[in-house]
Every structure is written in structure tokens, then in C-alpha cells.
Structure 1
Amino acid sequence: MRADFKQESFDEGCFNRIFKGLSFEGIGLKLARVKKIVEVEQIENYKKPLLMLLLEDETILHIEFMNDKIKPNIESMMIYDVYIRIKYGIQVTTVILYSGSEQKEKLKIDSGSIHYEAQIICLSEFNGQEIYSEIEGKIHSGSMLSDIDKLKLIFLPFMYHSLLLGEALSKVLLLIEALNEEEERLAYLTVITEVVSRFTGNKGIDVVKEYLMDTEVGLRIKDAGVKEGMRNSLLIILLHKFDSLPDNLYFAITNQQNENILMEWLRKVSGINTIDELKKMVFSRNRIKE
């Protein structure tokens, strides 16, 4: 899983801000509270898990999403769960959050001595209209949202509504925009965007893009995503060249927020052959104390 020394990405920071400390008991899962999001290494030929959360009891909650048209690859799910169990000795609980109309209880593999199953939580069984009204009342009255409220707000568009998904999603986005704290709004909108894309594929993403277009929070998300991509590209190139980087160089790159400087480094990096040359490029241009 992701090494602790690696600086968390923009998306990881948003997920940790929203999920850290939350319990999933509000949607029927009696598990420990969330400690942080984790990332597992890519296993060749198998699709990576959609969401892995380290819980406070040092177990992993593996979450996949499913609706009537999009179904997770249960073989890939099983491979990753077994990999984590064998390599790290960590117990994994796998849950599928389902937004479809049919009633489902479990998804499983039974083949000889192999038995693997994932629990299914049907979000469509929750009355999204009532939950929306409750959360809306709290937000507009200035009341604190409970942990259950915060968890349900994330998955609210996929609960039961008399509205179409796009309409329900638009209402939820407006509700999030009413939150008082800017950083909290930014985190929720980022997480909701990711959850929508994972739940529905392209369906629903246009609603999010249209809402975020030209808004301050939308521009911040776009700006952070562009810079993160540039920083990641730099690190991939440099780690391929040098295998490892001194801490001062690593953090100078990951903390750089100026898009023009990042672009300049990307243009020059192919001609960098030594750590000393890299230091000269990073520290002389940015005047950072080594």
C-alpha cells in the first residue's frame, strides 16, 4: 500500500478530510471508524479497487460501486483482497454500494475450495428525499452535521428520489454549496465528483462539470488537478532516472504551487542527468534554501 513518506495527493487529501473519523454504521455497516484512505499497488491484468479505507482497528474496508448496468469485477476484487491479506496480514471487509432497483444481498465466488463474497448495501432503500430535507434544515439553521449526516451526504444522490439522477445530483451540489466552510465545500465537491464517476461512468459527470464551471471552487479543483498531474509527471521521470530523490528535492517538487515553474521544470527535466544538475534547476529557479 502507499508508502507513508509520499505526500498525499489533492484527491487523497479531500477523501481524508471527508471520511476520516467517520463510521459506516449509518448505512448498516458495524465497523471501526475510518483512519485514512489507502492505495494498493497495481496488480498486472487486474482492475484496481475503487476505494480502500484503513480503519481504526487496522483492518481495511474495500468499497466497490454497482448499479443495474455497471457491475464490479469480482475476480479482481478477490485478488486484491487476498493480496492485502497475504502481503500485509491485514483483514479486509469488502462491501458493494448498490444504487440499482433490484434487491441484492451478496456477490460471491464459489469454486471448489474457493469461497469469496462481498456484502451489498442497497442505497436505493434509503429515502433520499427525507434525508435531503433533514440535512438541508441543519445546514441552513447553522447546526452541526452529525457523522451519520456527513456519510449520507456523500451517497445522497444515489438513494431513493422521485427525481432523475441528474436532478437529484444537482440538488445535492447546491446543498453542499450552502456549507459554511470553503475547504469543506471543496472537499465534498471533489469527493462527490469522484464517487459519481465511479458509480455511473460518464453519466452524471456532465451535471457536475456544468455546476462547477466558472465557480470559484470548480476552478480551484481544476487548478489543483493540473498542478498535481504536472508534479506527478516530474516525479515519475526523475524516479526513473535516479531511483530515489533526496528529501529536500522531493518536497521542493511536491510543494511547488506555481504552474509556470512546474511547466519549466518539465521542459528541462529530460536534459537533467545528475542530482547536482537537478538541485541547480530546482533551487536556483525557485530560490529555495536547501
Structure 2
Amino acid sequence: MGKRADVAYANYDIIFRSMTEQFREKALDFYGINTAPIVRVVPTDLPIITVNDRRMDFMFLLKDDTYLHLEFQTVFSEKELDRFLQYDVSAYEKYKKPIQTVVIYGADVDHATEVKKYGSVTYETKAVFMKDYDGDQIILDLWTKIENGEELTDVDELNLIFLPLMKSIVDRSERAIETVELAKRIKNQNQQVKLMSTIIAISDKFIDEEYVEKLMEVASMARVLRMAEERGRISESQNAIKYYLDSRFGLEAKSMKKEVEQLMDLELLHHLLQRLYRAETRKEMTTLIQEALEKQERWSQSAE
């Protein structure tokens, strides 16, 4: 696999932490994928001998404790369904939970088999065709929104991620680069990094190899990874605090956990966790969280 494997799986944990944040709580029903909201992206290094040394594209844990197996294809082949079936069997062996498989086909595909019978075994997938989406119009609409500083909806973000697969007069590799260029114009850096990481991870599944290095250059990948790694550490610190609050107060900790999610400074989060351990009452802890939020606000104002 060479260079493609290096791009897709180097810094795997960092990119996929960022993808998890991007997809968390999102529903894909806009594309006809009717599942519970996504909880997190699941690593796909399953203990099987894969066809052509390839892994499945993506697997998501859903809020209803089932799994979504998502594949991206630019051509249709029944042999690929055989491969997806192998993955699903292996995933079921590991997780023992229901798995729904959805194949997203690029704009060059207008039909595909969704059900394949293997004697007593019937394998069902769902096909989503990106030919039904006008990528040229959607990128213009997104460009206008981003340039005007408008907030992107969940559907906007998903359209941005899937743009390179949509119907277009532009080659999909060029469109992937245009999409990353557009994502770079998003003013919110956290949102920008999450979207760029996700676009890179997904586009690498189908982008022409000669464009891989160019895509990485456009994305300034080293910077993206640094920011994604930092965001990952912040998320881990937030989760540590929320877990502690949960263990102490259960449902009564809900409002405090919401406030902790607003803290985006690692130093403040680490200091807060230490102080919370020493606090005895919920009132004390609420005060400590408020103090941390006020300090973050002061630091933000002084930096402007």
C-alpha cells in the first residue's frame, strides 16, 4: 500500500480522535442513513486476514449500542460485498452487537447490488449514491456561508466532508483539495481542525495517489495534527473531570459537566481537577468551575 497506508494510518489516533468529535451526536439521516446518532469512531484494525491487505473504511459506535460500518466506493463490484461481509463477521465476533453496513458510492456509480445471497446466508447493505447531490452548487453555497461567517449546520458540515464524492464537473481529487482549502477558511479553529482531519481521512480512501501529497500540503497537516492532538488532550481532561463529577453526584452533575465542556485551556483543566479532588461539597465544586470559566474569559479578553 505504500504511501497511502502512511497517510491513512500514520497519526491514526490523533486523526480519529478529531473525527470522533466531528461525528459525535450527528445523525446521517439526511443521506437516508437511518441510524441512532454516532457516539464515536471505532478503530478498524480487526483480527482478520483482509483482502488485498485492506481494512474496512470506518466503523462507528451508535447511541443505541449498535454499530455502523461505512464504506466509500468510486466503482461497484460484487467482490467488494464479499469483503465487507468478512469485515462484518469479524466485527460481530469482536463486539457481539448488531452491525448495519452502508456503502457510499461516488458520482460515477448509479446502481449497485445491496443484497447478496450466499445459500443460507443473506447479506444486506444499504447503498447511498452521491450522484444525487450537486456538488458544484453545494460548494458554492458553503463558500458563501463560510465567507459570510455564518454558522454551519450539521448538514452543512456533512456536505463539506462528502463533497469530493458528489456529482461535479471537477475531478474528485481536485475537489478534495478545494474542499480542504474551503475548510481552512472557517474561522473557528476547533471546527476547522475537526473538519479538515475528517476530510483528509475520508478522501484518502478514494483520492488519486498523485494528489495525496498535494492534499497534505494544502491542509498543512503538521499544523492540523498538532492542533488535533491538543484538542484531544483537552477532551481527555474534560472527560476526566466529568467522570469524577458523575461518580460523585450522578444526574445532579449534569449542569456542572456542561460548564466543564466550555473550558478549553489545558492548564486550567488540570488545575481544576486537582482542586475538585480536594473539594467536599457540590457547592464548592460549582464555585471552582465558575472561577475557572471566569479566569478563561479574562485570559481571552486580555489576548484580544
Q: 1:117-168 CA distances to partner (integer Å, 9 max, x unpaired)? A: 2211111220011211222222122221111111111011111111222332
Q: Relative to structure 2, which stretch is displaced further, 85-94 or 64-73? A: 64-73
User: Kindly tell me: are residues 60 and 203 of structure 1, through their superposed partners in 2, closer, same or farther at Cα, counting changes over 3 Å?
Assistant: farther
| CA distance in 2 between partners of 1:132 and 1:88 (Å) | 38
Instruction: Describe the SS at the equivalent of 1:183.
Output: helix
Q: Which has the higher helix share?
A: 2
Q: Is the 8 A contact 1:50 1:64 kept in 2?
A: yes
Structure 2 counterparts to residues 123-272 of structure 1, below 5 A: 123-200=130-207, 202=209, 204-212=211-219, 215=220, 218-221=221-224
Q: 1:201-239 CA distances to partner (integer Å, 9 max, x unpaired)? A: 625424303413xx4xx322466899xxxxxxxxxxxxx
Instruction: Describe the SS at the equivalent of 1:64.
Output: strand
| CA distance in 1 between partners of 2:146 and 2:105 (Å) | 27
- Unaligned runs of at least 5 residues, structure 1: 1-7, 227-290
Q: Is the 8 A contact 1:67 1:100 kept in 2?
A: yes
Q: CA deviation at 1:57?
A: 1.3
Q: CA deviation at 1:94?
A: 0.2
Q: CA deviation at 1:35?
A: 0.7
| CA distance in 2 between partners of 1:201 and 1:107 (Å) | 26
Q: Relative to structure 2, which stretch is displaced further, 200-209 or 143-152? A: 200-209
| CA distance in 2 between partners of 1:91 and 1:66 (Å) | 23
| CA distance in 1 between partners of 2:97 and 2:74 (Å) | 28
Structure 2 counterparts to residues 70-149 of structure 1, below 5 A: 73-149=80-156
* Alignment counterpart, residue 39 of structure 2, candidates 19, 35, 39: 35
Q: Is the 8 A contact 2:136 2:167 kept in 1?
A: yes
Q: Is the 8 A contact 1:60 1:93 kept in 2?
A: yes
Q: Is the 8 A contact 2:41 2:60 kept in 1?
A: yes
Q: What TM-score do the two structures reach when normalised by structure 1?
A: 0.66
Structure 2 counterparts to residues 13-24 of structure 1, below 5 A: 13-24=17-28
Taking every aligned residue pair, what percent have the same amino acid on both sides? 21
Q: CA deviation at 1:92?
A: 0.7
| CA distance in 1 between partners of 2:186 and 2:101 (Å) | 31
| CA distance in 1 between partners of 2:100 and 2:160 (Å) | 22
| CA distance in 1 between partners of 2:211 and 2:29 (Å) | 27
Q: CA deviation at 1:40?
A: 4.4
| CA distance in 2 between partners of 1:105 and 1:86 (Å) | 27
User: Kindly tell me: are residues 84 and 171 of structure 1, through their superposed partners in 2, closer, same or farther at Cα, counting changes over 3 Å?
Assistant: closer
| CA distance in 2 between partners of 1:23 and 1:168 (Å) | 24
2:63 maps to: 56
**How many matched pairs?**
216
Q: Is the 8 A contact 2:47 2:90 kept in 1?
A: no
User: Kindly tell me: are residues 200 and 221 of structure 1, through their superposed partners in 2, closer, same or farther at Cα, counting changes over 3 Å?
Assistant: same
1:44 maps to: 48
User: Kindly tell me: are residues 207 and 120 of structure 1, through their superposed partners in 2, closer, same or farther at Cα, counting changes over 3 Å?
Assistant: farther
Q: How well do the aligned residues superpose, as a CA RMSD in angstroms?
A: 2.7
| CA distance in 1 between partners of 2:105 and 2:179 (Å) | 19
| CA distance in 1 between partners of 2:145 and 2:16 (Å) | 27
The residue type equivalent to 1:91 in the other structure is: P
1:253 maps to: none
User: Kindly tell me: are residues 69 and 79 of structure 1, through their superposed partners in 2, closer, same or farther at Cα, counting changes over 3 Å?
Assistant: closer
The residue type equivalent to 2:91 in the other structure is: I
* Alignment counterpart, residue 16 of structure 2, candidates 1, 12, 15: 12
| CA distance in 1 between partners of 2:121 and 2:100 (Å) | 17
